[in-house]
Amino acid sequence: APADMRVSYDNRYLYVSNFGGGTVQQYDIANPLEPRLVDEVALPHPNM
């Protein structure tokens, strides 16, 4: 499930952090009608 979303200052990319999946995804939103997943990075789970 998405935990947080941020749009880049140039309004070209959307960054989504996924709480359950432990990933951050980068979407190209230059064309808002056709968003495209550009990259996905897995983050290690912190020891709490």
Q: Is residue 31 part of a domain?
A: yes
In a domain, 24, yes or no: yes
Tell me the whole-structure pTM to 2 decimals.
Answer: 0.81
Q: Count up the domains in the chain and report the number.
A: 1
Q: Would you state the pLDDT for residue 44?
A: 82
CB 41 within 8 A of CB 33: no
DSSP secondary structure code for residue 12 in this structure: S
Residue 23 in any domain: the answer is yes
User: What pLDDT, in 10s, does the model give residues 11-20?
Assistant: 999 999 998 7
Structural domain including 6 reads: 2-42
Low-confidence ranges of the chain (pLDDT < 70): 47-48
The per-residue pLDDT for 41 is: 96
Let me know if residue 35 belongs to a domain.
Answer: yes
Residue 47 maps to a domain: no
Contact by Cβ (8 Å): 19, 27: no
Is 48 part of a structural domain of the chain? Answer: no
Question: What pLDDT was estimated at residue 48?
Answer: 57
